[in-house]
Structure 1
Amino acid sequence: MKVRLLGVGMGPQHVTAEVAHALRSCDYVVASRKAHDDELFAIRQAICDEHGVELVAVTDPVRDREPVDYPATVSAWHDARAAAYAEVIGARRGTAAFLVWGDPSLYDSTIRVVDRVAASLEAEWDVLPGVSTPSVLAARHRIVLHEVGHPVHITSARRLPEALVAGQTNIVVMLGNADDLATLDSLGDWWIWWGANLGTVAEELVSGRVADVLPELQDARARAKQSAGWVMDAYLLRGPR
């Protein structure tokens, strides 16, 4: 048995030649399915159809979205996912693939889960990179993520307050949500480059001084959700110099 983790960016248009070749060598793709109208599952189906590979749906284990102990809850969820995937792969055998949204190295836990799957099945596995969300964000806005001689800090929306307290002034924020946008009022003089559903037909982009564009940004986020039924947003925040 072999398991391949393939980064697919934001959809079929971002599948690299390397990933396409690897995908066609696989017997099937495994993907969690949250509901019958799971749009991200549908995008994976489109990729599989394009490359002639079967997509096998696995019901996604329920996850507590408001845990008391976040790390422990996520770890338990990963265990449940690994067990569900291992059951399917162990029964079907052959070479299985996982299509990872964006790049597997950044704010995605598929590597952690498949490490557990491979250990339980004694299967070999490898990882191929994909187009990351920050790289698409930067390309869409025609910017460099850091200024000359300055670093860039990448974090989740949940941990943005920590980054601000620590004095970070050039921050890529991933896994954004409507609530964290409401907290940006205090950063009125900062500049923001924001994008939702990057690389999809429901893509929305906004940039400018936070105080000037925040209402526009919130409207754009609502449009993205209405259009696609889901929202994945990311943004670069840069403080005044």
Structure 2
Amino acid sequence: MIHLHLIGIGTGNPDHLTRAAIRTINAVDLILLPRKGDAKSDLLDLRHSICGAALASPVRMAEFDMPVRRQDGDYTQAVDDWHDAIAAIWAEQIAVHLPDGGRVALLVWGDPSLYDSTLRIADRLRTAGVDLTVRVEPGITSIQALTAAHAIPLNALAEPVTITTGRRLRREGWPLGVHTIVVMLDSGCAFEVLDPAGITIWWGAYLGMSQEALVHGPLADSAPQIAARRAELRARHGWIMDVYLMRKERADAC
């Protein structure tokens, strides 16, 4: 039996770990750490730093190379194939390092429940015949870190919020019927497709970390600032994790 623990680690700050997450990290037999290429080596280093801060005694760790998702063809099929490849690597690593079963942890940025596919990949292990239980230790999401950094509420009074992706915002525009949206997994400033009139944006990158960057203001003024800052930060660090919230002025508020 393999007991898989998916541990939300927030946005890279060891202080984001809950006490439950710390207990779990110290109780497992193996921690799997993905390598994502030299340009993103900071991400591996951050996971090592988080483990170093949380562990009271040594726990075995195993690094593995993450497969690269293909960029051509159908997006959904490419992601599906990518998840299959990741699940196969997990199964291989578990078989090598825990041949008799045990407890294994994966450290998940933010929280495993929100725009993260770790749980879906874990389901593939069951489908492949791995005798598996899954437990999630929730973490601080990038949305929580963003609203805290800007000291703002997520929603307007009695209003809904839509959480979407940069890909969908670029393809479909502003979702109908809502005045607040949060955009995640945006690879390239999708807010630039919008008419900025009446829209305010709160943007954050590397939230909770030493290199945290924040921009807030009317979208018309902030969009070029964010695009320039994002490009500069990505060039400097080799990777970027950012998220933003936008609120549209209500027509009946005028």
Instruction: Spell out, residue by residue over 1:71-114, the C-alpha distance to the aligned partner (whole angstroms, 9 max, x if none).
Output: 22211111111011101102222211000000000011011111
Tell me the distance in 2 between the aligned counterparts of 1:223 and 1:201.
16
Say how many residue pairs are matched. Answer: 239
2:79 is matched with: 74
Give the direction of change, closer, same or farther, for the CA distance of 1:9–1:158 in structure 2 (3 Å limit).
same
Give the direction of change, closer, same or farther, for the CA distance of 1:36–1:215 in structure 2 (3 Å limit).
closer
Query: Does residue 193 of structure 2 align to residue 183 of structure 1?
Result: yes
Give the direction of change, closer, same or farther, for the CA distance of 1:228–1:199 in structure 2 (3 Å limit).
farther
The 4+ residue runs of structure 1 with deviation greater than 4 A are: none
SS at 2:215's partner residue?
strand
Whether the 8 Å CA contact 1:203–1:224 is kept in 2: the answer is no
* Percent identity of equivalent pairs: 39
2:112 is matched with: 104
SS at 2:222's partner residue?
helix
Tell me the distance in 1 between the aligned counterparts of 2:189 and 2:71.
14
Tell me the distance in 2 between the aligned counterparts of 1:13 and 1:229.
24
Q: Which residue of 158, 169, 194 corresponds with 1:149? A: 158
- Which residue identity does 2:51 align to in structure 1? C
SS at 2:157's partner residue?
coil
Q: Structure 2: where are the runs of 5+ without partners?
A: none
Mapping 1:43-192, distance limit 5 Å:
43-50=46-53, 51=55, 52-66=58-72, 68-93=73-98, 94-119=102-127, 120-161=129-170, 162=172, 164=174, 166-184=176-194, 186-192=195-201
SS at 1:121's partner residue?
coil
2:44 is matched with: 41
CA positional deviation for 1:32: 2.1
Instruction: Spell out, residue by residue over 1:29-76, the C-alpha distance to the aligned partner (whole angstroms, 9 max, x if none).
Output: 11221214522111111122231333311111221124x322222111
Instruction: Spell out, residue by residue over 1:2-44, the C-alpha distance to the aligned partner (whole angstroms, 9 max, x if none).
Output: 1110000012121111100001001121122121452211111
Please report the TM-score for the alignment, with normalisation by the length of structure 1.
Answer: 0.92
CA positional deviation for 1:165: 5.1
Which 10-residue stretch deviates more, 42-51 or 22-31?
42-51
What is the CA RMSD across the aligned residues, in angstroms? Answer: 1.7
Which 10-residue stretch deviates more, 170-179 or 145-154?
170-179
Q: Which residue of 174, 183, 206 corresponds with 2:215? A: 206
CA positional deviation for 1:229: 2.0
Which 10-residue stretch deviates more, 28-37 or 205-214?
28-37
Tell me the distance in 2 between the aligned counterparts of 1:147 and 1:165.
16
Mapping 1:6-45, distance limit 5 Å:
6-11=7-12, 12-37=14-39, 38-45=41-48
Whether the 8 Å CA contact 2:71–2:78 is kept in 1: the answer is no
Tell me the distance in 2 between the aligned counterparts of 1:80 and 1:97.
19
Whether the 8 Å CA contact 1:197–1:224 is kept in 2: the answer is no
- Which residue identity does 2:30 align to in structure 1? Y
- Which residue identity does 1:7 align to in structure 2? G
- Which residue identity does 1:59 align to in structure 2? D
SS at 2:209's partner residue?
coil
- Which residue identity does 1:30 align to in structure 2? L
Tell me the distance in 2 between the aligned counterparts of 1:193 and 1:36.
30
Tell me the distance in 2 between the aligned counterparts of 1:224 and 1:236.
19
Tell me the distance in 2 between the aligned counterparts of 1:65 and 1:39.
23
Please report the TM-score for the alignment, with normalisation by the length of structure 2.
Answer: 0.88
Query: Does residue 239 of structure 2 align to residue 230 of structure 1?
Result: yes
